[in-house]
Amino acid sequence: MFHKEKSIQLKNSASALYNNLSVLRIAPRRLTYFTVVHANVVNMVSTSWDGLNYSHRQLQSKEPNVATSTSLIMQAAFCALPSRDLLVVSSQKGIQMYESDGSIMVYWHALDTPEAPTAHAVFARGISAVSDNYICVGVSSGAVLVFDVPSKGSNITLSEVLEEHKEAITDIASECSGSQEFLANLVTADDGGNLCVWKSGEEFQLLNKIPGLDMTCSSVKLWKGTVLAGYGTGQIRLYEAVTGILHAEVNAHARWIYSLDIAPFSGLLLSAAEDSFVRVWHLSITPETNSVEIAHLHNECVTDTQICGAKFCDGDGYAFAVTGYDLSEIIRYVQS
Amino acid sequence: MSTRTLPLLFINLGGEMLYILDQRLRAQNIPADKAKKVSTVPAWIEEDRKRVMNDIITTMFNKKFLEELFKPQELYSKKALRTVFDRLAHASIMRLNQASMDKLYDLMTMAFKYQVLLCPRPKDILLVSLNHMDAIKDFVKDTPSILSQVDETYQQLIEMYTPLSNGEFQLMRQTLLIFFQDMHIRVSIFLKDKVQNSNGRFVLPTNGPVPRGTQIPGMIRIFSCSGEELTRLQFNNGGNYSSALREGSFEMFGNRVTKLGTNMYSVSRPVETHMSGTSKSSAQHTKVNAAPNPLAKEELNLLARLMGGLEVQKPGSADTGFRVNLFATDEEEEEALISRPNELSYGVVSIQATKDQQANAELTKIMGEFTESGDPSSSASSKGDDLLAMMDGL
């Protein structure tokens, strides 16, 4: 169903972090950007669709006014808003937002870091754009920071802080079907596996809380009103966002899941874990009849690699890319 | 990232170091009556071996040192940690040349990297640590004073780590994996056992028992809105998994179940590393710990505590030094030092005795004791940074 294509070489290897791959497709310029985090560096590769041109850039997470201070990055993700695309980098020190090519930093938000290290680590993790003008970023305290992003310029402001989670945020996702019919358009997940479902707005509204069973939800997606959640036990669960009804449970992987992705136009689901496997599934959701179907389509084994990132390269799921711990390449697969 | 990782790193690496030293000391053991036939590497009688192990373990579990270790803090840089272990390895009458120390550290780090990677669940790292603790306890079982230190450390470990959540353990694991990033040194015993490939990467099997709490992959269950199961589908998981083993014990005593962290060396399975062929894979050497000063303030505190806790050992007088060689022959050891690729050098920070006698009288005394004429490892006190100056400069 899929075959391996030429890999993209990286300047350094991927770190073992959840959701450690982000992809941005820029159709007008026939380019695709990839970002992979290595400790305190974001590796960016820009590839032309004809496969002939590659260019690399590295971003370091540094506080703009402190020359020597660097910190470990937890996640780097592209946020596509109707008016602009931004690259958001979340680290131990704070949150940075760049133009999508990484050329200019447009915003910096510092986290409250204590003077001396405390037992609970402080960091930002979990990044998603939601509706037309918001970007949400999670924090280790469980808070979710909501940033209001104007259509251009650097006048980004912190609009709200959502305080519902008690454990560190792991991942955040927004409704990606493109349809406005769904009430909920944001889901946030934490270290305890708890999921919160929200409706965005000037004031975000909490619609539902789905309790975790003390097992981390490391990656989450929201599609057609359904939460797709990947857990440390290797399970994937599908919940109806607003009601919390469990539609499906999949014993998908033999180790901790690190990444989930969905191709919104085709309903293809990608899951990747420490067990070296990337699996492709097909989802079929009919909100009217409340029916959910999930079928397994394909396996890829990346030998001797703990996978930390897997993303579709396009909305149909025609191609996907994978990163692994200690691997200095982005492996690509294309439908046969 | 996680501020609770240093104790695990130290105890596990320390444990591996003890396994290796114990094996080498036994391998270099010659029966007492043959002791008169000396080569450049002298005979180690059982008494000396036990003494070395006791001395190192006493230093490792020094109360003040552990207090510092268990405080919440970021992980040390590779350089700083290597310096700590250098000191630890020399906390006894034993002497190691630079090449042997390098090799020792390579083995220790690759072994723990392997254990961290292969842990089925992040919290199994605690079981690995307990395996190391169990072995350390066994090394000192005849010495009650040290035994009580070890027991106290068990308590601290268990108290600190057992209440943590799975997510917090995974964060610690991710922090450790950043520390070990891009290390692909080939270890003979791993290559022989086929747990490491010739390119230095570890084998991650897609078979065997699943972790506790995980189901064997293969089942899809669809539910109705009222919660009843509508359909059950099977899929091919591409591997060959079996049910989880029983839970290991997280208490002071008990069967840990996992073999990770137990002693894999024995006299008949010598330790070796291959340095050739690793330069390619280490080309992408991480630049993470490129801090201007390899020993930040906190790290110096720990180091100072370690130095303060050292019992001064007088090297043997008549014999030509109690040197331990991690290689088969002296020639091999020399060759290894010369041919070690630059990017794999640890850049150990050399510490010089300070001018402020009062503040560092102990330090000076210890440094003085370390210096032996003709001992190559005395390079530690002959060049490098001034400890106090470094602290002032921070």
Q: From B167, which residue of chain A is nearest by alpha-carbon distance?
A: A191
Residue A336, chain B, CB below 8 Å: the answer is no
Statement: residue B13 has pLDDT above 50: yes
Task: Give me the percent of chain B exceeding a pLDDT of 70.
Answer: 68
The model's confidence at residue B24, banded by pLDDT at 50, 70 and 90, is confident
CA atoms of B352 and B86, how far apart (whole Å): 14
Statement: residue B390 has pLDDT above 60: no
CA atoms of A245 and A238, how far apart (whole Å): 9
Q: Kindly give the pairing relationship between strand B351-352 and strand B385-386.
A: parallel
Distances (CA, A) of B332 to A254, B22, B23, B113, B274: 44, 20, 18, 26, 12
CA atoms of A176 and A178, how far apart (whole Å): 5
Residue A48, chain B, CB below 8 Å: the answer is no
Q: Stretch A272-300: mean pLDDT, rounded?
A: 93
CA atoms of B222 and A298, how far apart (whole Å): 19
Token readout for A288 is 């009217």
The number of angstroms, rounded, from the C-alpha of B269 to the middle of its chain's C-alpha atoms is 19
Provide CB contacts within 8 A for B275, sequence distance 6+.
Answer: B185, B336, B339, B340, B341, B344
Q: Which range marks the domain in which residue A88 is found?
A: 2-112+120-335
Give per-residue burial for A140-155: e unless 16+ CB within 10 Å, then b.
bbbbbbbbebeeeeee
Distances (CA, A) of A118 to B3, B4, B254, B269: 7, 9, 31, 43
B330, β-bridge pairs: none
Annotate A62-95 with DSSP letters as a single string: B-TT-SS-B--EEEEEEEE-SS-EEEEEEESSEE
| Inter-chain residue contact A16 with B288, CB threshold 8 Å | no
Compare CB distances from A299 to B170, B177, B238 and report the shortest one's residue: B238
Query: Which runs of E-coded beta strand occur in chain B?
Result: 94-96, 186-187, 207-209, 219-223, 229-234, 240-242, 273-274, 322-324, 351-352, 385-386
Which residue in this structure is represented by tokens 């940690």?
B81
Token readout for B114 is 């392997």
DSSP B267: T
* A235 sits in which H/E element: strand A235-240
Compare CB distances from B73 to A117, A235, A294 and report the shortest one's residue: A117
| Inter-chain residue contact B220 with A295, CB threshold 8 Å | yes
A292, β-bridge pairs: A285
Pick from B23-37, B41-55, B165-179: least confident: B23-37
pLDDT value, residue B344: 63
pLDDT value, residue B194: 92
CA atoms of A149 and A129, how far apart (whole Å): 10
Residues of A in contact with B287 (CB under 8 A): 12, 41
Q: Kindly give the pairing relationship between strand A105-110 and strand A94-99.
A: antiparallel
Give per-residue burial for B195-226: e unless 16+ CB within 10 Å, then b.
bbeeebbbbbebeebbbbbbbbbbbbbbbeee
Statement: residue A51 has pLDDT above 60: yes
| Inter-chain residue contact A296 with B235, CB threshold 8 Å | yes
Reported ipTM: the value is 0.95
pLDDT value, residue B314: 42
Tens of pLDDT, residue by residue over A97-155, are 999 999 999 999 999 888 788 888 999 999 999 999 999 999 999 999 999 999 988 89
B159, B160, B170, best to mutate vs chain A, most A CBs in 10 Å: B170
The model's confidence at residue B49, banded by pLDDT at 50, 70 and 90, is confident
A56, A220, A289, A296, best to mutate vs chain B, most B CBs in 10 Å: A296
For position A155, which CATH number holds? 2.130.10.10
Tens of pLDDT, residue by residue over B224-265, are 989 999 999 999 999 999 999 999 999 999 999 999 999 988
| Domain tally, chain A | 1
pLDDT value, residue B273: 55
Residue B354's identity, in one-letter code, is T
- Three-class SS of residue B201? coil
| Inter-chain residue contact B168 with A191, CB threshold 8 Å | yes
Tens of pLDDT, residue by residue over B163-189, are 999 999 999 999 999 999 999 999 988
Q: How far B330 CA sits from the closest chain A CA (Å)?
A: 35
CA atoms of B355 and B386, how far apart (whole Å): 9
Tens of pLDDT, residue by residue over B58-73, are 999 988 888 889 999 8
CA atoms of B113 and B121, how far apart (whole Å): 15
Pick from A49-58, B82-91, B325-334: least confident: B325-334
Cβ-in-10-Å burial (0-12, 13-18, 19+) of B15 comes to: buried
Statement: residue A247 has pLDDT above 80: yes
Q: Kindly give the pairing relationship between strand A291-301 and strand A277-286.
A: antiparallel
Q: How far A58 CA sits from the closest chain B CA (Å)?
A: 12
| Inter-chain residue contact B168 with A39, CB threshold 8 Å | no
Determine phi and psi for A145, rounding to 5 degrees. -90, 130
DSSP A39: T
| Inter-chain residue contact B286 with A235, CB threshold 8 Å | no
Return residues 251-290 of A near B (CB < 8 Å): 251-256, 275-277, 290
Compare CB distances from A254 to B3, B122, B217 and report the shortest one's residue: B217
